[in-house]
Amino acid sequence: MPEALVLINTEIGAEDEVLAQIKSIEEVKEVYIVYGIYDLFAKIEAESVEKLKDVISSKIRRLPKVKSTITMIVVSSASSST
């Protein structure tokens, strides 16, 4: 299943509000508030790359307090146990 990692900039002070909106999107599997250049980090899964693009452009980027995004499409992954 295609995955994307999305770094999101919000308007100042809107992190919690945008997190709640993004969390309600079905394809979003994880979302975090982070410190640094970006405000939020989201992991998205969809049945196709086209659907990933649609979720990002239609559901995330169009949220009123989202200023910008950087998207990384996952091409390979590995997990490690702790």
pLDDT tens-place string over residues 31-80: 999 999 999 999 999 999 999 999 999 999 999 999 999 999 999 988 76
Q: Does residue 80 fall inside a structural domain?
A: no
In this structure, how many other beta carbons lie within 10 angstroms of the beta carbon of residue 52?
22
Q: Does residue 67 fall inside a structural domain?
A: yes
Q: Does residue 27 fall inside a structural domain?
A: yes
DSSP 8-46: EEE-TT-HHHHHHHHHTSTTEEEEEE--SS-SEEEEEE-
Q: Does residue 21 fall inside a structural domain?
A: yes
Number of structural domains found in the chain: 1
CATH number of the domain that residue 44 is part of: 3.30.70.920
Q: Which domain holds residue 14?
A: 3-73
Q: Does residue 26 fall inside a structural domain?
A: yes
Write down the residue that tokens 């990002």 correspond to. Answer: 56
**pLDDT > 60? residue 81:** no
pTM assigned to the model? 0.89
Please give the structure tokens belonging to residue 44: 């998205």
DSSP bridge pairs for 42: 6, 31
Dist. CA 73–CA 75, nearest whole Å: 6
